[in-house]
Chains A and B, each alone.
Chain A
Amino acid sequence: MESTEPAPPTREGASADLDGCVELLGKLLPEESLITDRQRVRTYECDGLASYRTVPAAVVLPENAEQVRSAVAACSEHGVPFVARGSGTGLSAGALPRSDGVLIVTSKMRRILELDIANERAVVEPGVVNLDVTKAAAPHGYYFAPDPSSQQVCSVGGNVAENSGGAHCLKYGFTTNHVLAAQVVTADGELVELGGAAHDAPGYDLLGSFIGSEGTLGVVTSITVRLLRSPESVRTLLAGFPSTDEAGAAVSAMIAAGVTPAAVEMMDALSITAAEQAVRCGYPEGAGAVLVVELDGPRPEVERTFTEVWQHCDEHGAFEIRTAADETERALIWKGRKSAFAAVGRISRDYIVQDGVIPRTALPEVLRRIAELSAESGVRVANVFHAGDGNLHPLVLFDGSEPGAAERAEEVSGAILELCVEQGGSITGEHGVGADKVRYMGRMFTAEDLDVMQCVRCAFDPAGLCNPGKVFPTPRLCGEAPGRRRGVHPLTEAGLAEQF
């Protein structure tokens, strides 16, 4: 599907001059850093959510912060929208380009600028691959905690934009909890330092606003990340249960007993079947659900709580419990879980990866309702989720060659999100809103909520040039008082913006 492109609410009187912008970019950047060739720019038409495609007008590949700054300044001067992109692994079309805009790709900015072990931090460029931070820190006994499943390819800049989590964020939090400072280019082409060297410096926490803003507040050019001490001990357990209800009850028991696992992952029967076919992970045969539980920390604490976790699984109906004796066995346990999304390709031609959140305690009810939705529609749904924090990843299966199948799958997928909102949850736990979920924002937030959030947008990007059309269903004219909008937004009226 070709995306709809709401026009950026540019300053009154200013009109976009794309040709002028590209010409200026040509003067400012080295030749190899600017791509305008139609075939070559097409490479960047989508991110990890390939159902949305737009060919950008131009692509720039800056090599340093100064080049990012001048590229953004050129866009700003000519009123041209721009979108930043890291490795392009996002799953919500957050890095979907604009046909009337410039795509700024940070993949050439891959230097780890500083490894400051004494202060347990590192300074990296935005294109640095997530796992490479850990690889650099590991010899010193440290690691970078956020571990999205795409960590072998995704960039830290992208992690900042999306506030990426990962399986271990249950205990350690998200990217926002692991970034101490960032250098960013704001929409008017200024380099600004957010955060600082010392903890808790006075001032508004603009860094906290920036992280997770999905590229709508600026482009990050360097990131100071926290490094954590590698845990003394890691223990991993795999438990097979007759159904997701028992597995869920075991998780509830752990939480009630005050255990904070590093990760608790659950897979249902259909996703186990898929994983088994794809990677032969050897999960317990006939399981209606499996739990992967990982504990880490000081050895005596881990040993004690590991015994407790084992008992909770046993008491709640686990018919088989395995513990990883070494790193190889641990990797095998994780293999099934980590390959789950891709593995579903083995049992279904096409599928939608959904990302919704519910309060963890609503899990049994929500899974029952998903099963009902699936039965009513005839659309199969495989469930993989972070059971500790209620972040569901239902995989909605369909065969795109079958007429109407994609639409039916979309419907089920949307109904699952509605279910999440109804339960007081969220429409996205880690994949972001991007272009894909803009239409659901109004289900979770009031118009006033969204307007007030956009006050931040107006402070950073009054002209609305920075990744426009993402996150917010309706652009806000900066200067307008929140909640005081009269009548129809002028951009909507002019047919330039779509209101969801």
Chain B
Amino acid sequence: MSTAAEETALNALCGALGDEWVTESSEADRVGARRPKWVVHADGTERASAALRIAAEHGMSVVPRGGGSKLDRGESPERVDLLLDLSAADEVVEHAAGDLVVRAEAGAPLREVQRTVAAAGQQLSVEDPHPAATLGGVIATRSAGPCRHLHGGVRDLIIGITVVCADGTVASSGGKVVKNVAGYDLGKLFTGSYGTLGVVTEAIFRLHPLAEERRWVAVTLPDPRAAAEAARLLRISRAMPTAVELDRPAGRAPITVCAELEGRSGVTRERAAELASSLGEELGQTCEVSGTAPEWWGRLPGEPGTGTGIRMASRPADLAELLEGAGRVEDETGVELQLRGAAGLGVLDGWVPDGSPDESVAALVEGVRARAAALDGYTTVSRAPENVKRLVDVWGPVPSGALALMRRTKDQFDPERRLAPGRFVGGL
């Protein structure tokens, strides 16, 4: 944009939104390698819509932000004029406890939503490792924690959504009833779309009752095959675990596999004891039962905001191959991973501290990616220093047929490619 055009655009923004809603950007507002020109704050759907309308009129590209905890995810966008900050749209609009439904604005922190619904003994069965995560960010990046195992992900729990399109059009789909098949499901489409289709401004989720009692059953095994077998036994157990996770600390340490059980008080501890004893018998190992989660539970491996984080996935039954494959790539590249994640689902997060040569980290990503691909799985880079990102494809390949449809979808929702252009898979 020329200086004159920039000034016209800024005036239009300030005119439509009010001066106090438009600010200069700072270094902290970077989206990957790009620093936006301005930060526009929106306190709800209406102001977000006005901002996007002005952006459309002046050809400005936009990236939405909630708590900013995952702004470094994905490729750096090709350009960012506006960072649309929704943290002022933070109202938990309605908690219909009797209907097990909550409706909240996108900028509402997940923690705040949880606090609200917990007052009625309920939970939104979505977890995010970042304390600042907002509902909008959770949707846009498809956050998941351990209970993804039993309750499904964001896409399985979202029942209604309001979005603002690239031209400022406001649209909703779904509603505030769980059972509803009227119209297309935009909630699922926008889940995990990284702000490239539109800006989520409000969402409605189904809730679950909070458990009265929780127990964790854990076993530590040195061998990846044995660990995968433990995960399999827990996964197929009729004890119906809420989650089956594993943790492999740095230095190729032994692997801890841990399942969470939830239920009625007094009863769940009995079940946990039973599960631990039957698992122990099968594995010939002692299994521990605990009333508290392991300290690593629900957290990403490594130091937040540093190093390189990757996600690798395969079919659940290929977990042993996934783990062994990662081990071989570690040997080949001399880079060591910390591993943690959903052993029951076959989705693991890996982390490499800063300090290894960028080329070696990139080789690790490519090596793990090749091995996961051989298992029909995938590998993505969750976070990495810019130097590493430059050497690898953050998202990895997406099958061409599906990618072509994704491209056509993007073209329909954002024909001018102004929403986080290039941040997502295949340069979308």
Contact = CB atoms under 8 A, between A and B. Distances in A.
A binds B: yes
A146 to B, nearest CB: 12
Contact of B178 (A176, A209, A389): A389
A432 B98 CA distance: 25
A230 B237 CA distance: 10
A471 B183 contact: yes
A309 interface: no
Interface stretch (A354-362, A408-416, A487-495): A354-362
Contacts of A192: 401-402, 404-405
Contacts of B142: 200
A433 B181 CA distance: 8
A426 B170 contact: no
Interface string B87-113: 000000000111111000000000000
A300 B181 contact: no
Contacts of B401: 190-193
A49 to B, nearest CB: 15
Interface string B184-199: 1111110111000100
B286 interface: no
B232 to A, nearest CB: 8
A360 B180 contact: no
Given A176-B185, A203-B425, A229-B236, A193 B402 contact: yes
A454 B142 CA distance: 23
B169 interface: yes
Interface stretch (B12-20, B78-86, B262-270, B323-331): B262-270
A390 interface: yes
Contacts of B188: 176, 205, 208-209
Given A229-B238, A298-B271, A484 B167 contact: yes
Contacts of B209: 258-260
A255 interface: yes
A456 B184 contact: yes
Contacts of A163: 181, 185
Contact of A203 (B184, B238, B402): B402
How big is chain B's contact interface, by range?
35 or more
Most chain A C-beta atoms within 10 Å of own C-beta, residue among B142, B313, B345, B404: B313
B186 A437 contact: no
B376 interface: yes
Contacts of B375: 197-198
Contact of A199 (B179, B313, B403, B415): B313
Contacts of B236: 120, 229
A87 interface: no
A230 B236 CA distance: 10
A456 B413 CA distance: 8
Interface string B388-428: 00000001101101111110111111010000000011000
Contacts of A116: 317
Given A119-B317, A177-B156, A196 B376 contact: yes
Contacts of B270: 300
A319 interface: no
A198 B346 contact: yes
A35 interface: no
B240 interface: yes
B314 interface: yes
A455 B101 CA distance: 28
Given A198-B378, A255-B100, A304 B156 contact: no
Contacts of A430: 179, 181
Nearest to A259: B209
A118 B405 contact: no
Given A192-B402, A200-B347, A211-B185, 11 more contacts: A119-B317, A193-B402, A199-B313, A199-B346, A199-B347, A202-B192, A205-B189, A259-B209, A360-B98, A452-B165, A453-B184
17 contacts: A193-B401, A198-B375, A206-B406, A208-B155, A256-B98, A258-B121, A298-B263, A301-B268, A359-B99, A359-B101, A389-B179, A390-B179, A428-B181, A445-B173, A449-B171, A456-B184, A458-B408
Interface of B: 96-101, 121-122, 142, 144, 152-153, 155-156, 163, 165, 167, 169-173, 175-189, 191-193, 197, 208-210, 212, 235-240, 263-264, 266-268, 270-271, 313-317, 342, 345-347, 372, 375-378, 380, 395-396, 398-399, 401-406, 408-413, 415, 424-425
Report, nearest first, the 8 A-B pairs whose CB atoms are least far apart. A208-B188, A258-B209, A452-B171, A197-B376, A192-B401, A198-B313, A455-B412, A361-B98
